[in-house]
């Protein structure tokens, strides 16, 4: 059974640019959550999608957005990148509710 | 703002030692408590999901307990091995809301 796949694994951007990250969940999982991890911080919740609907949203500015497609694949977009957006972005999928989350390997985003 | 606290932040033990960590969370509107293990260069892996007060879960040498009334969970590792070295995360969930993760406890086991 294939795991959660995130692409790309690494990304370097400059301030002001925008970026799109992709996440393919485990087959049959309809819930996809996105997290940001920076040094010294725990996993900060960005948003959760379930069956193409945003179900929960974390405390991040509107520059961070996401969507989920009918095949449950999800994308996260960050516009007008700032230096502070440099982080590891993790995607996790689950069957929903509070079932265990299965994480991808993450996308490491560096902003120059 | 809901907060999940984990202690200690880090610890170093010798192979064979037993150890335990604490996760503290709000005691109101409890729905679930998750534990994850995050090894370096890998992705977080689910260990346990606990939903009932008094729950005890076990997986090999690792076990966890849950007290929802007082808002804490303990994770125990019996006879630590070098391969147990990782960051252990707990996450608290209320019904219909996203999981809130603690900052983790980083365990280092020396042989």
pLDDT tens figures, A37-84: 998 888 999 999 999 999 999 999 999 999 999 999 999 999 999 999
Interface contact B51-A102, CB threshold 8 A: no
Tokens of A79: 């516009």
Cα of B29 to nearest chain A Cα, Å: 14
Burial of B2 by CB count in 10 Å (0-12 exposed, 13-18 middle, 19+ buried)? Answer: exposed
Number of residues written out for chain B:
111
Asked whether the predicted pLDDT for residue A1 surpasses 80, the reply is: no
Asked whether the predicted pLDDT for residue B14 surpasses 80, the reply is: yes
Per-residue confidence (pLDDT) for residue B95, from 0 to 100? 84
Mutation for A interface: B3, B46, B50, B57, most A CBs within 10 A: B46
pLDDT, tens digit, 9 for 90 and up, residues B36-75: 999 999 999 999 999 999 999 999 999 999 999 999 999 9
Mutation for A interface: B38, B40, B43, most A CBs within 10 A: B43
How many A×B Cβ pairs under 8 Å? Answer: 55
Q: Whole-angstrom Cα distance, residue A54 to residue A76?
A: 12
DSSP A52-89: TEEEEE-S--TTEEEEE-TTS-EEEEE-S--GGG-EEE
């Amino acid at each position: 059974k294939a795991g959660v796949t995130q692409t790309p694994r690494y990304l370097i951007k400059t301030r002001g640019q925008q970026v799109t990250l992709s996440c393919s969940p485990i087959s049959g999982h309809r819930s996809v959550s996105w997290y940001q991890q920076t040094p010294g911080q725990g996993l900060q919740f960005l948003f959760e999608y379930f069956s193409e609907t945003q179900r929960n949203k974390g405390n991040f500015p509107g520059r961070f957005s996401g969507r989920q497609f009918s095949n449950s694949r999800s994308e996260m977009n960050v516009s007008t990148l700032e230096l502070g957006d440099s982080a590891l972005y993790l995607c996790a999928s689950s069957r929903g509710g509070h079932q265990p989350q299965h994480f991808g390997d993450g996308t490491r985003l560096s902003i120059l | 703002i809901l907060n999940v606290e984990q202690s200690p932040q880090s610890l170093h033990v010798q192979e064979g030692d037993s150890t335990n960590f604490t996760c503290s969370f709000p005691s109101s509107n409890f729905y679930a408590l998750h534990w994850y293990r995050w090894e370096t260069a890998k992705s977080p892996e689910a260990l346990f999901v606990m939903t009932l007060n008094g729950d005890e879960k076990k997986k090999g040498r690792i076990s966890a307990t849950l007290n929802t009334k007082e808002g804490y969970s303990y994770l125990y590792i019996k006879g630590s091995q070098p391969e147990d070295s990782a960051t252990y995360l707990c996450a608290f969930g209320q019904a219909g809301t996203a999981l809130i993760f603690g900052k983790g406890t980083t365990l280092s086991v020396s042989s």
